[in-house]
Amino acid sequence: MGQMFHLFVEDVGFVIDNDLHESEFLNTKVFDDLKPLVHNGKYRSYRTKIPHQIHGSPFYMRFYFMESKFTSLHLHSAIKFGMSSNIMDVAQLENAKSFNDQWLMNQLGVNQKGVKPWGSVESVMDKKGRSASIIFRFSDGR
């Protein structure tokens, strides 16, 4: 078994790891604000409605499962970056991406994109969708 991934969610006292299974995740009832996103056969996803503190920064989270196995986690910063609405302009989007890049470097020593024993991580920006996020993808063979 490879190295484990651990991410501590401070405000709810929950540790997210790459060995998380969907039933265990749902049974914890830690995230009162959890909302189902996609439930399509063996593929399921959930998002938090409110931000949670991870290593001192507020993030909205999206959890993705395939056949009940945890496949990826997306973090979206809850910091507004000068936004007056929910839609970011290009400068705000670049600020969000820069924040994510710095957070990733500080927490994992990764510069925008990296491969770890448990999978991969990258900071991405979607100009069309006007969002910036940190994506953790977990390798199979846990």
pLDDT digits (tens, 9 = 90+) for 19-53: 889 998 888 878 888 899 999 989 999 999 889 99
Residues 104 and 123 sit within 8 Å (Cβ to Cβ): yes
d(CA 12, CA 19): 19
Q: Residue 63, class by beta-carbon neighbours within 10 Å (0-12 exposed, 13-18 middle, 19+ buried)? A: buried
pLDDT digits (tens, 9 = 90+) for 80-93: 765 445 556 788 88
The two three-digit tokens of residue 128, written as one number: 């069309």
pLDDT for res 1: 43
Phi and psi of 25, rounded to 5°? -60, -50
d(CA 58, CA 38): 24
pLDDT above 50: residue 140: yes
Question: Where do the domains of the chain lie?
Answer: 6-138
Give SS3 for 105: helix
Give SS3 for 69: strand
Give the global pTM. Answer: 0.88
d(CA 124, CA 105): 14
